């Protein structure tokens, strides 16, 4: 029989397996049956998705009622209400140091003593100079008295003699001597005053050799030791740093220029420090300073907060992060900000996707959601007080609700007006969209 008339040959040609060797029969069967089964699966998936076209699952969140608080965050450091650097006006050697770190001191208490030998000698010298000046005054007063008496005698003689004796020259000489005596007395009095002033300066320097506390407070730092030489030539060296009443402190924070317009004196705040992460400390704004600080092009304004530190848990220099309450709304209708950002897809979008040549690919990798633009051409949330709309699902239909938004804290927004009730479900996004 001719090979071309063999039925087995025709079957192999028809099945498309003649190209394979006989030893690969299992592989030929896989190709013969696998391709039709794969086609059936793809057709089934396509028909199933086509029957469910237009079905969209929305992600929703409930409307709630509660309090809304707006805060401004800033960082800074704690400082004493009054911090004083105590130095020395005199140069010399430190003889003794009377206090140490963390010691409580009172006004007038001695903190340190300078060597006073040289100062005492200067005081003795000034006293001697004063005594010498006072003696000179007594001498000049005696001379003045003598000159006055001599002039008086000559004048009487001149009158009794009828102007014959003494001569006019003698009278003039006596008057000049009296004037010189008066001048010498005035000069001596001035020397006394100068000597007194010098003595007072030396005695003041001797008193300043005892370095005393100017305030009631606590010693924060001590930068001097006994035997150390203090040189107070152009600037007084700082020997001690004192803090007054650490039970009351100040928190100095830098508020960004974008937030400073909302910060006012008297507003409440809270802050935390790394030393006590579990504690939240209260504070109140006492001052918002007008002077700006430029740090690498960033403009901030120093704001001072009053802090109660009765427990003495807070220490000067600690870094704190403060949250300043700039506005508060109680018992308000609140919606998530995502509900204001949600915008349904434009009409005809789904038809365009289904008619595109890549419809099967778009089912696996859907394109990003398109948003409708607002009247000013921008997308996203509108400003507070502007008319906006949110969406809810009623009887399976996406329905818009006009609302007027109020204050927001970045997560929730107050609704001032609109057909919104607590418990209502609002659409915030699309979970899935079936074609």
CATH code for residues 56-66+333-433: 2.40.420.20
Q: pLDDT tens digits, residue range 24-46?
A: 556 666 666 666 777 777 766 66
pLDDT at residue 131 above 70? Answer: yes
CATH architecture of the domain formed by 74-79+245-329: Beta Barrel (2.40)
- Kindly state the greatest CA–CA separation across the chain: 199
Q: What is the mean pLDDT of residues 308-337?
A: 94
Which residues contact residue 412 at a Cβ distance below 8 angstroms, ignoring those fewer than 6 apart? Answer: 64, 68, 334, 335, 336, 337
pLDDT at residue 77 above 70? Answer: yes
Q: How much of the chain, in percent, has pLDDT values that exceed 70?
A: 79
Q: How much of the chain, in percent, has pLDDT values that exceed 90?
A: 65
pLDDT at residue 130 above 90? Answer: yes
Contact 19, 400 (CB under 8 A): no
Q: What is the mean pLDDT of residues 82-100?
A: 93
Which token pair is 209? 């050799």
If one compares 45 and 347, the residue with the highest pLDDT of the two is: 45
Domain boundaries, the chain: 3-51, 56-66+333-433, 74-79+245-329, 116-208
The pLDDT of residue 186: 96
Question: What pTM did the predictor assign?
Answer: 0.63
Q: pLDDT tens digits, residue range 291-313?
A: 999 999 999 999 999 999 999 99
If one compares 22 and 311, the residue with the highest pLDDT of the two is: 311
The pLDDT of residue 371: 41
Sign, CA dihedral 196-197-201-207, equals positive
Task: Check for a shared fold between 56-66+333-433 and 74-79+245-329.
Answer: no
Q: pLDDT tens digits, residue range 141-170?
A: 999 999 999 999 999 998 998 888 899 999
* CA distance linking residue 10 with residue 239, whole number of Å: 113
Q: Average model confidence (pLDDT) for the chain? A: 83
* DSSP-derived secondary structure letter, 261: G
Per the listing, tokens 């057909």 go with: 419
């Amino acid at each position: 029989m001719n090979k071309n008339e063999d039925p087995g040959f025709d079957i192999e040609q028809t099945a498309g397996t003649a190209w394979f060797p006989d030893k690969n029969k299992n592989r030929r069967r896989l190709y013969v049956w696998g391709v039709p089964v794969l086609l059936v699966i793809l057709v089934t998936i396509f028909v199933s998705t086509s029957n469910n076209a237009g079905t969209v699952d929305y992600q929703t969140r409930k409307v709630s009622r509660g309090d809304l608080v707006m805060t401004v965050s800033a960082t800074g450091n704690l400082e004493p209400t009054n911090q004083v650097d105590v130095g020395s006006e005199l140069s010399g050697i430190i003889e003794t140091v009377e206090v140490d770190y963390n010691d409580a001191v009172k006004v007038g208490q001695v903190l340190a003593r300078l060597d006073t030998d040289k100062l005492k000698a200067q005081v003795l010298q000034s006293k001697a100079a004063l005594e010498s000046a006072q003696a000179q005054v007594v001498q000049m007063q005696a001379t003045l008295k003598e000159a006055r008496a001599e002039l008086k005698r000559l004048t009487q003689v001149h009158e009794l003699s009828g102007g014959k004796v003494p001569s006019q020259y003698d009278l003039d000489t006596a008057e000049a001597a009296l004037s010189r005596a008066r001048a010498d007395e005035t000069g001596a009095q001035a020397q006394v005053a100068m000597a007194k002033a010098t003595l007072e300066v030396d005695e003041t320097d001797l008193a300043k050799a005892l370095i005393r506390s100017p305030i009631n407070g606590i010693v924060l730092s001590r930068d001097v030791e006994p035997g150390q030489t203090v040189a107070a030539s152009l600037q007084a060296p700082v020997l001690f740093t004192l803090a007054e009443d650490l039970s009351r402190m100040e928190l100095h924070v830098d508020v960004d220029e974008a937030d400073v317009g909302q910060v006012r004196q008297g507003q409440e705040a809270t802050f935390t420090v790394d030393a006590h992460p579990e504690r939240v400390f209260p504070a109140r704004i006492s001052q918002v300073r007008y002077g700006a600080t430029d740090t690498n092009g960033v403009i901030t304004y120093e704001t001072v907060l009053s802090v109660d530190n009765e427990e003495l848990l807070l220490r000067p220099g600690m870094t704190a992060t403060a949250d300043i309450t700039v506005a508060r709304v109680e018992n308000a209708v609140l919606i998530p900000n995502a509900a204001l950002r949600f915008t349904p897809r434009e009409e005809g979008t789904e038809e365009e996707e289904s008619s595109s040549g890549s419809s099967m690919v778009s089912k696996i990798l859907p394109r990003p959601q398109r948003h409708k633009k607002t009247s000013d051409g921008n997308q996203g949330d509108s400003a507070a007080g502007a008319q906006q709309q949110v969406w809810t699902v009623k009887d399976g239909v996406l329905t818009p609700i006009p609302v007027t938004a109020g204050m927001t804290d970045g997560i929730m927004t107050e609704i001032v007006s609109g057909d919104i009730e607590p418990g209502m479900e609002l659409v915030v996004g699309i979970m899935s969209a079936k074609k």
